[in-house]
């Protein structure tokens, strides 16, 4: 059985890939154009089709949807937003997640596997602190998407979990963030291992706390 992680060329995705491999578990990753990973541009339909053909017949035990973008980091209401800011953000962070899951669902079914969506505390409707409007809206949509997928996939016994990876020291999180990529990956590894039908639809932090919706 295989774990597949999207956006595994850097940041939390790369740390997760290294964590799975360090335990001796088979794990593969995707990125846009890396020689060492499967090619996938989550915003491109042809790229999804090509990946489906490449991975046909491979059972996927854990499908981890990690790929995403942050275009409006630090922007307030007066930031240089355009329609493309929202369209491009949603294409990667929402539609990209949905199409990845649809593309690889036959592989997950073959393994009776489970699905993890890396969202963010910035998608919480309860913790609404303003700013970063496109990113926050996309992560809220990813949370909603995951919870509805959990409902639809429940009859098949496929659990879906949604996770906040922490405020992580990456290009996206910045140097002043709380935790390292490795700490986040260790926590997420444990959360995904613990994901079951009893927890399907959960929104949890990397450290295992229930996160406010």
Q: Give the pLDDT confidence of 8-43 residue by residue, as tens digits.
A: 999 999 999 999 999 999 999 999 977 789 999 999
* pTM listed for this prediction: 0.94
Q: Assess contact for 89 and 72: CB atoms under 8 A.
A: yes
Task: Please state, for a pLDDT cut of 70, what percent of the chain lies above it.
Answer: 96
Structure confidence at residue 171 as a pLDDT band (50, 70, 90): low
- Distance of alpha carbon 90 from alpha carbon 65, whole angstroms: 14
Sheet holding 38-39, edge to edge: 38-39, 27-31, 2-5, 60-65, 114-118, 160-164, 203-205
Structure confidence at residue 89 as a pLDDT band (50, 70, 90): very high
Q: Assess contact for 11 and 45: CB atoms under 8 A.
A: no
- Which CB contacts under 8 angstroms, 24+ apart, belong to 136-142? 137/86, 137/89, 137/90, 138/68, 138/89, 138/90, 138/92, 138/93, 138/94, 139/93, 141/90, 141/93, 141/94, 142/93, 142/94, 142/97, 142/117
Q: What pLDDT shows up at residue 166?
A: 79
Q: What pLDDT shows up at residue 143?
A: 96
Q: What pLDDT shows up at residue 42?
A: 97
The structural architecture, per CATH, of the domain 2-205 is 3-Layer(aba) Sandwich (3.40)
Q: What pLDDT shows up at residue 20?
A: 96
- Return the CA Rg of the chain: 16
Structure confidence at residue 172 as a pLDDT band (50, 70, 90): low
Structure confidence at residue 74 as a pLDDT band (50, 70, 90): very high
User: Which run of H or of E encompasses 199?
Assistant: none
pLDDT at 154 over 70: yes
pLDDT at 57 over 80: yes
| Least confident residue range of 171-175, 186-190, 196-200 | 171-175
More confident residue, 127 or 116: 116
More confident residue, 110 or 168: 110
């Amino acid at each position: 059985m295989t774990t597949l992680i999207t956006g595994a060329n850097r940041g939390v995705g790369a740390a997760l890939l290294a964590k799975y491999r360090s335990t001796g578990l088979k794990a593969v990753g995707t990125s846009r154009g890396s020689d060492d990973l499967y090619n996938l541009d989550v915003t491109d339909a042809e790229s999804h089709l090509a990946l489906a053909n490449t991975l046909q017949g491979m059972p996927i035990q854990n499908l981890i949807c990690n790929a995403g973008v942050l275009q409006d980091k630090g922007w307030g209401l007066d930031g240089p937003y355009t329609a493309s800011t929202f369209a491009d953000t949603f294409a990667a962070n929402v539609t990209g997640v949905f199409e990845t899951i649809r593309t690889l669902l036959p592989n997950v079914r073959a393994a009776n596997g489970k699905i993890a969506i890396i969202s963010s505390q910035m998608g919480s409707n309860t913790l609404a602190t303003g700013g970063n409007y496109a990113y926050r809206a996309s992560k809220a949509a990813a949370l909603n998407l995951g919870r509805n997928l959990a409902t639809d996939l429940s009859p098949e016994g496929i659990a879906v979990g949604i996770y906040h990876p922490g405020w992580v020291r990456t290009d996206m999180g910045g140097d002043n963030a709380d935790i390292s990529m490795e700490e986040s990956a260790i926590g997420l590894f444990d959360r995904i291992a613990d994901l079951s039908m009893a927890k399907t639809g959960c929104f949890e932090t990397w450290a295992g706390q229930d996160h406010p919706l």
